[in-house]
């Protein structure tokens, strides 16, 4: 009976069964092959985190199985089922798809994951993909999560592929506000959107703090700051990819207020979420521009430091050259009398100057004349 309700999903079911039986790896989906992040963790055994049926904003049942949930929906008028799954197996998603008549494209996206944030409408069902984020203080980095939502007239199905966001707190909030929960599945969608957007605030604060620290390191001349700027720029770009599509998602929801008769109070709530999301997007855009400016300033400071170092080396080389010239000049001056004295100190018998009465004064005068001449020459050329 379930297969007759959604025959287009039978290939998905058959592929899931074959994948379990076959030992050969299946072909990687394009979304996964293009995604630089690590591969997904395997499905968990008990993927149903919470399963509840609500009537008039209050929980009336907590079914242990999906079949029991489906039975409550058929027997209880005006009931709402909220099913939360964490890394479910594809067969379990297919079972829900057959029951709630979910479109096969949205089901494939939920199974494969690695989707960009988006909003799609398939008949009476909304399919929403959100990217949650949380700031990890110890590592000083941003951890991103992925959440898929199927929102129908009487059901909300959430499929998480990561730890974030924490939907348990969202459920507690909604159950503590039955007046809001009784407004229907759109109220649950609002609460989840609000939680995801509010979760961006600590990330924005953490990134701002990192940027402030980087500015200090740049002007301090830390040599490792360039790598940190690059790593933080990558996180900001990833954060931008998670937040910017939210504006389009919320605009699409706002455009359908009148067409789908959305409750006026929910309209106000959703507009408030849109305001917060716009603020986050503007801050993230500002972060990216700031990091580009910081990188430019850092490159300028590094260039200036290199120029100063080259100037210092040039000055040191000039001083060294001057010292070498001075030493060379004095060495040449002292070499002349040494050469003359060495020649006349050989004491050969056939050297007539040895028996000349004026030989000694002549040698001394010759040494002095050569030294004076060399001194004047080097002095004129600036060597001395």
The band of 351, judged by pLDDT with boundaries at 50, 70 and 90, is: low
pLDDT at 309 over 70: yes
Question: What CATH number is attached to the domain comprising 371?
Answer: 1.20.58.340
Within-domain flag for 232: no
Q: Is 317 exposed, middle or buried (0-12, 13-18, 19+ CB in 10 A)?
A: exposed
Residue carrying the six token digits 């700051």 = 225
**Which runs of consecutive H residues, i.e. helices, occur in 225-263?**
225-255
Q: pTM to 2 decimals?
A: 0.71
Q: Give me the pLDDT at residue 85, please.
A: 92
Within-domain flag for 369: yes
User: Is the distance from CB of 244 to CB of 118 less than 8 angstroms?
Assistant: no
Per residue in 160-193, pLDDT (tens digit) is 988 778 899 999 999 999 999 999 999 999 999 9
**Considering its fold, how many domains does the chain have in total?**
1
Within-domain flag for 141: no
Within-domain flag for 59: no
Per residue in 251-298, pLDDT (tens digit) is 988 888 777 778 888 889 999 999 999 999 999 999 999 998 988 888
User: Is the distance from CB of 168 to CB of 289 less than 8 angstroms?
Assistant: no
Average pLDDT over residues 127-132: 94
Q: What percent of the chain has pLDDT over 70?
A: 85
Within-domain flag for 332: yes
Q: What is the DSSP string of 103-139?
A: -HHHHHHHHH--PPSEEEEETTEEEEEEEEEEEETTT
Per residue in 44-63, pLDDT (tens digit) is 556 888 999 999 999 999 99
Nearest to 76 by CA among 105, 56, 94, 91: 56
Domain range for 349 is 318-380
Length of the chain in residues, anyone? Answer: 384
Would you call the peptide bond into 165 cis, given omega within 30 degrees of 0 as the criterion? yes
Q: Give me the pLDDT at residue 15, please.
A: 38
pLDDT at 196 over 90: yes
Within-domain flag for 155: no
Q: Give me the pLDDT at residue 227, please.
A: 87
Q: Give me the pLDDT at residue 323, please.
A: 82
Per residue in 321-350, pLDDT (tens digit) is 878 888 887 887 777 787 777 776 666 666
Within-domain flag for 305: no
Within-domain flag for 352: yes
């Amino acid at each position: 009976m379930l297969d007759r309700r959604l025959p287009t999903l039978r290939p998905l079911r058959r592929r899931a069964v074959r994948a379990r039986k076959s030992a050969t790896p299946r072909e990687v989906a394009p979304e996964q092959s293009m995604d630089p992040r690590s591969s997904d963790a395997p499905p968990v055994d008990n993927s149903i985190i919470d399963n509840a049926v609500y009537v008039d904003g209050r929980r009336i049942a907590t079914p242990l199985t999906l079949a029991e949930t489906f039975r409550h929906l058929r027997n209880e008028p005006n009931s709402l089922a909220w099913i939360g799954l964490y890394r479910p197996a594809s067969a379990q998603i297919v079972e829900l798809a057959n029951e709630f008549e979910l479109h096969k494209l949205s089901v494939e996206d939920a199974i494969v994951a690695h989707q960009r944030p988006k909003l799609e409408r398939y008949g009476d069902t909304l399919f929403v993909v959100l990217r949650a984020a949380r700031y990890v203080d110890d590592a000083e980095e941003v951890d991103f999560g992925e959440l898929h939502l199927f929102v129908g007239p009487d059901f909300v199905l959430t499929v998480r592929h990561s730890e974030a966001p924490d939907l348990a707190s969202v459920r507690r909030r909604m159950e503590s506000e039955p007046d809001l929960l009784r407004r229907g599945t759109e109220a649950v969608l609002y609460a989840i959107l609000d939680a995801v957007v509010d979760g961006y605030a600590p990330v924005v604060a953490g990134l701002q703090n990192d940027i402030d620290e980087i500015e200090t390191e740049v002007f301090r001349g830390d040599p490792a700051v360039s790598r940190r700027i690059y790593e933080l720029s990558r996180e900001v770009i990833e954060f931008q990819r998670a937040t910017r599509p939210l504006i389009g998602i919320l605009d699409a929801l706002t455009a359908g207020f009148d067409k789908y008769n959305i409750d006026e109070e929910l309209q106000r709530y959703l507009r408030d979420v849109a305001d917060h999301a716009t603020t986050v997007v503007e801050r993230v855009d500002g972060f990216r521009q700031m990091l580009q400016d910081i990188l430019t300033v850092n490159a300028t400071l590094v260039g200036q430091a290199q120029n100063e170092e080259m100037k210092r080396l040039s000055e040191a080389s000039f001083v060294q050259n001057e010292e070498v010239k001075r030493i060379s000049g004095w060495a040449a001056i002292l070499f002349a009398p040494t050469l003359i004295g060495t020649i006349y100190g050989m004491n050969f018998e056939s050297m007539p100057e040895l028996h000349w009465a004026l030989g000694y004064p002549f040698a001394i005068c010759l040494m002095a004349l050569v030294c004076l001449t060399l001194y004047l020459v080097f002095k004129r050329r600036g060597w001395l």
